[in-house]
Chain A
């Protein structure tokens, strides 16, 4: 988006959606993780009867509430922007994509919003156990909500469980089970929620570290560090594991994104995983896209082949293979996909014209094509490629995906180390004697947000130019409104969200400085 940013409708629409999503994701992961941390703490309060745990729970609950409200505010926009800014998309796949959103509302949002009220206002009104159950239900509701929106998002990256209906000119669901148990959805859900747990754990450890630096609320801080440290460590390891399985799935369903993440231009066997590298312009081009050389490269031999194929000598295709094709490896060129996609689109147009003219004979023969296995598997699956003029247009931004991925992964391992140290120092009762660690923990908070946002940048920038992989490019999905209108709302959102973020941070900082109520 950065390299293509201009005043066109498509790019402003993308910018607006990206802005909303980035702001929304500043608040959601903390809700996902902190809700469970609150549940753990309150469980300890109910089981032990120790009032200190109640005080600790209430302190973090105050911060949860401040964050929760703005997360809700930014969330509503995302749902409706599918209609306002991506109306062609909404119709093309609403039959499938809308279902998880509706389920999210019915199953998750009501659960969350009902019991969050009990959680905040029920301390003196309901029994301890009912209150505890409410806190757990808020955590479950928040994470259930993440499940459904991630099922929807995963479907965009790996569309499954549907069939194209030429009469309505849209994709229609034929297996809800396939949509829900889409392998991308399972990986994405586990990876995303556990990354939210890590962010919340870093948040709690970091703020607790600040209390210890200031020699305030030391018992609260130590106990919070222990809970968040253990939760963060388990979650961090889960993030690493699910990241690995995500990569394997990605290599299968989005090979171009995978190659871009690795800046891999030439396919090879025995491919190593680049740990660190600097991209430079090689002077070569694929169409209008730069080809990059790798400097200062440190790689782990064969690991990329093992990750993607399970074998050290496995073949990993590069961008050139994927664009130009590689018959030896059974990879079709993008220009061939474009041809096939155009043929499929022409069949659809012919069908719609025949329907308009009432030519039932042509209609019947053309409709039959959509039932043919050869047509659906070898032509219609490339429908989206028909909208491109040049094969290179399917290459995403290599530097953005390459660097974002590495920074995210590096930070992920750093957080695991941070949690190990937090637990180690806590066990040895030496947290206060290691101020360097406390300062690092404090300054890790923004890094956790950075890693979390970069994860989405890898996902969403890496899958460009597709809004639905292979079926619909982003520029086809946009609503037919003026670029000026979207530009106006973009700036309105930017100003409003920034203003609210400033208020949120200011309130949060004040509440932290004030500390728990005694």
Chain B
């Protein structure tokens, strides 16, 4: 028996998978957020070692999720991959550079004969911690604000600006999301460290830092949400394919889809609960509320950008070059084949959970670090 699935369903299914991976990536950027505190939070080398080792046991998951996010985009929406990566060259290169230096920094920072010294590798972690979330936020914001490109008859991209993506940094709305993601990553990083390290002195510093970072996060996030919901959005006509700017378009997408609305409001509430727990109750469990809140909020933002009559990667230079799910997607056959592959994801999540819990039964302490063979 052959399973009858519509092309529209497959495109939306894959956009949901991309959204889910995007949500997990933003949550897992607690690693980057934690790294951004490497010079400011720890009072001494031992505290710094505890922070780095706590984050270092998770960095590969963020990294792998980023790679899978890229691979899934390539497989399901190759025209986006070609257009954005090939056009916004400098933004993506800056993101990649920041991740290259992260990958080695953990393993090399405390090894003897590492040539450049621990501080250089710690600086790599700091750069990745700040630049990674910020630039990924800016890049995702262009899903709402548009980019300066045109596509020819054969879908070859021509980028309008010689800055090749860096021009996104002068759009205030893009900056708002970049800063919101950066401060969210920092908030998540603090909550994660609170959860995984058992050190009274460090815990006191974490709580103070949480307040200082939660406020800018809320300000930038709310400002971004207000800007896109109350501003114009790129609507794609379902019949002609013509793309036009329409006032309140993303607001319509939010309230017009019950799943998007539930994900968004539910996620926001959970993040607020997490902040309340972390700031006023000093709860170690805040990271879980924040995580279960962050993922649906990011999914909702992606759904607002991609579902409905919307161009998910709009062109501000030539609206008709904008990418919709239909225009950018892989073939029916590929999406269907890949859908079967994606069914393994719950199994992957299950073994990650099992492996994590098996090595994270106890919190990191000075004693635990002293007895560990492999430290960073």
- The residues of A with any CB-CB pair to B shorter than 8 Å are 58, 62, 65-66, 68-70, 72-77, 79-80, 82-88, 90-91, 94-99, 101-107, 109-111, 113-118, 120-126, 130, 134, 165, 168-170, 172-174, 176, 352-353, 356, 479-482, 485, 489, 492, 496, 499-500, 502-504, 506-507, 509-511, 514, 517
Q: Look across to chain B and name the residue whose beta carbon is closest to the beta carbon of A74.
A: B100
* A83/B92 in contact, CB under 8 A: yes
* A173/B341 in contact, CB under 8 A: no
* B72/A69 in contact, CB under 8 A: no
A-B contact count (CB 8 A): 263
Q: Is B372 an interface residue (CB 8 A)?
A: yes
Query: In the complex the two chains form, what is the Cα distance from A517 to B373 in whole Å?
Result: 9
Q: Look across to chain B and name the residue whose beta carbon is closest to the beta carbon of A502.
A: B115
Q: Apart from A99-B338, A102-B74, A114-B352, what 17 extra A-B contacts exist at CB < 8 Å?
A: A65-B374, A66-B111, A70-B104, A76-B99, A76-B100, A79-B70, A80-B85, A80-B96, A90-B74, A90-B85, A91-B81, A106-B345, A117-B355, A168-B331, A356-B153, A500-B104, A514-B112
Contact of B60 among A66, A113, A130, A504 (CB under 8 A): A113
Q: Which residues of A contact B374 (CB under 8 A)?
A: 62, 65, 120-121, 123
* A73/B71 in contact, CB under 8 A: no
How many interface residues does B have (CB within 8 Å)?
75
Query: In the complex the two chains form, what is the Cα distance from A337 to B155 in whole Å?
Result: 25
* A125/B103 in contact, CB under 8 A: no
* A496/B81 in contact, CB under 8 A: no
Q: Which residues of A contact B5 (CB under 8 A)?
A: none
Q: Which stretch in B156-164, B267-275, B284-292, B301-309 binds the other chain?
A: B156-164
* B359/A122 in contact, CB under 8 A: yes
* A105/B86 in contact, CB under 8 A: no
Q: Which residues of B contact A500 (CB under 8 A)?
A: 100, 104
* B355/A114 in contact, CB under 8 A: yes
Distance of B160 from chain A, by nearest CB (Å): 11
Name the 6 nearest CB pairs between A and B, nearest first.
A94-B78, A87-B86, A83-B85, A105-B68, A98-B75, A98-B74
Query: In the complex the two chains form, what is the Cα distance from A496 to B83 in whole Å?
Result: 27
* A118/B67 in contact, CB under 8 A: no
Contact of B351 among A68, A114, A514 (CB under 8 A): A114
Q: Which of B76, B82, B84, B348 counts the most chain A CB atoms within 10 A?
A: B82
Known contacts: A69-B108, A502-B115, A503-B114. The answer to whether A87 contacts B157 by CB under 8 A is yes
Q: Which of A74, A76, A126 counts the most chain B CB atoms within 10 A?
A: A76
Q: Which residues of B contact A173 (CB under 8 A)?
A: 331, 333-334, 337
Q: Is B344 an interface residue (CB 8 A)?
A: yes
Query: In the complex the two chains form, what is the Cα distance from A430 to B97 in whole Å?
Result: 50
Q: Is B66 an interface residue (CB 8 A)?
A: yes
Query: In the complex the two chains form, what is the Cα distance from A498 to B330 in whole Å?
Result: 37
Q: Which residues of A contact B87 (CB under 8 A)?
A: 87, 479-481
Q: Is B7 an interface residue (CB 8 A)?
A: no
Q: Look across to chain B and name the residue whose beta carbon is closest to the beta carbon of A84.
A: B85
* B66/A69 in contact, CB under 8 A: no
Query: In the complex the two chains form, what is the Cα distance from A511 to B342 in whole Å?
Result: 41
Query: In the complex the two chains form, what is the Cα distance from A274 to B142 in whole Å?
Result: 57
Known contacts: A73-B100, A121-B374. The answer to whether A106 contacts B68 by CB under 8 A is yes
Query: In the complex the two chains form, what is the Cα distance from A82 to B67 in whole Å?
Result: 13
Q: Which residues of B contact A482 (CB under 8 A)?
A: 162
Query: In the complex the two chains form, what is the Cα distance from A376 to B93 in whole Å?
Result: 39
Known contacts: A80-B70, A105-B67. The answer to whether A99 contacts B103 by CB under 8 A is no
Distance of B356 from chain A, by nearest CB (Å): 8
Q: Mark B310-330, 1 if CB is under 8 A from A, else 0.
A: 000000000000000000001
Q: Which residues of B contact A510 (CB under 8 A)?
A: 111-113
Contact of A172 among B86, B103, B331, B352 (CB under 8 A): B331
Pairs across A and B, CB under 8 Å, 27 listed: A65-B374, A80-B85, A88-B156, A90-B74, A91-B78, A91-B81, A94-B78, A95-B330, A99-B337, A99-B338, A99-B341, A101-B71, A107-B344, A109-B67, A113-B61, A114-B356, A117-B57, A122-B358, A165-B331, A168-B155, A169-B154, A173-B337, A174-B333, A480-B87, A503-B104, A510-B112, A510-B113
* B355/A118 in contact, CB under 8 A: yes
* B107/A87 in contact, CB under 8 A: no
Q: Look across to chain B and name the residue whose beta carbon is closest to the beta carbon of A489.
A: B93
Q: Is B281 an interface residue (CB 8 A)?
A: no
Q: Is B173 an interface residue (CB 8 A)?
A: no
Query: In the complex the two chains form, what is the Cα distance from A59 to B54 in whole Å?
Result: 23
Query: In the complex the two chains form, what is the Cα distance from A504 to B108 in whole Å?
Result: 8
Query: In the complex the two chains form, what is the Cα distance from A77 to B374 in whole Å?
Result: 27
* B86/A110 in contact, CB under 8 A: no
* B90/A69 in contact, CB under 8 A: no
* A102/B64 in contact, CB under 8 A: no
* A109/B64 in contact, CB under 8 A: yes
Known contacts: A69-B107, A500-B104. The answer to whether A98 contacts B71 by CB under 8 A is yes
Query: In the complex the two chains form, what is the Cα distance from A510 to B373 in whole Å?
Result: 17
* A352/B153 in contact, CB under 8 A: yes
Contact of A95 among B71, B78, B153, B159 (CB under 8 A): B78
Q: Which residues of A contact B217 (CB under 8 A)?
A: none
Distance of B369 from chain A, by nearest CB (Å): 11
* B333/A87 in contact, CB under 8 A: no
Query: In the complex the two chains form, what is the Cα distance from A68 to B111 in whole Å?
Result: 14
Query: In the complex the two chains form, what is the Cα distance from A417 to B331 in whole Å?
Result: 50
* B107/A66 in contact, CB under 8 A: yes
Query: In the complex the two chains form, what is the Cα distance from A460 to B8 in whole Å?
Result: 39
Q: Is B251 an interface residue (CB 8 A)?
A: no
Q: Which residues of A contact B331 (CB under 8 A)?
A: 95, 165, 168, 172-173
* A83/B72 in contact, CB under 8 A: no
Q: Which residues of B contact A169 (CB under 8 A)?
A: 153-155
Q: Which residues of B contact A82 (CB under 8 A)?
A: 74, 81, 85
Distance of A96 from chain B, by nearest CB (Å): 7
Q: 8 Å CB contacts to A: which residues of B126-162?
A: 153-159, 162
* A94/B330 in contact, CB under 8 A: yes
Q: Which residues of B contact A98 (CB under 8 A)?
A: 71, 74-76, 78, 81, 330, 334
Q: Which residues of A contact B200 (CB under 8 A)?
A: none
Query: In the complex the two chains form, what is the Cα distance from A85 to B85 in whole Å?
Result: 8
* B67/A79 in contact, CB under 8 A: yes
Distance of A135 from chain B, by nearest CB (Å): 13
Known contacts: A69-B107, A76-B103, A485-B89. The answer to whether A113 contacts B64 by CB under 8 A is yes
* A87/B82 in contact, CB under 8 A: yes
* A94/B71 in contact, CB under 8 A: no
* B96/A511 in contact, CB under 8 A: no
Q: Look across to chain B and name the residue whose beta carbon is closest to the beta carbon of A353.
A: B153
Q: Is B262 an interface residue (CB 8 A)?
A: no
Distance of B101 from chain A, by nearest CB (Å): 7
* A496/B154 in contact, CB under 8 A: no
Q: Which residues of A contact B348 (CB under 8 A)?
A: 106, 110-111
* B92/A106 in contact, CB under 8 A: no
Query: In the complex the two chains form, what is the Cα distance from A66 to B242 in whole Å?
Result: 53
Query: In the complex the two chains form, what is the Cα distance from A99 to B348 in whole Å?
Result: 18
Q: Is B248 an interface residue (CB 8 A)?
A: no
Query: In the complex the two chains form, what is the Cα distance from A502 to B93 in whole Å?
Result: 23
Q: Look across to chain B and name the residue whose beta carbon is closest to the beta carbon of A503.
A: B115
* B64/A58 in contact, CB under 8 A: no
* A87/B330 in contact, CB under 8 A: no
Q: Look across to chain B and name the residue whose beta carbon is closest to the beta carbon of A90.
A: B82
Distance of A26 from chain B, by nearest CB (Å): 13
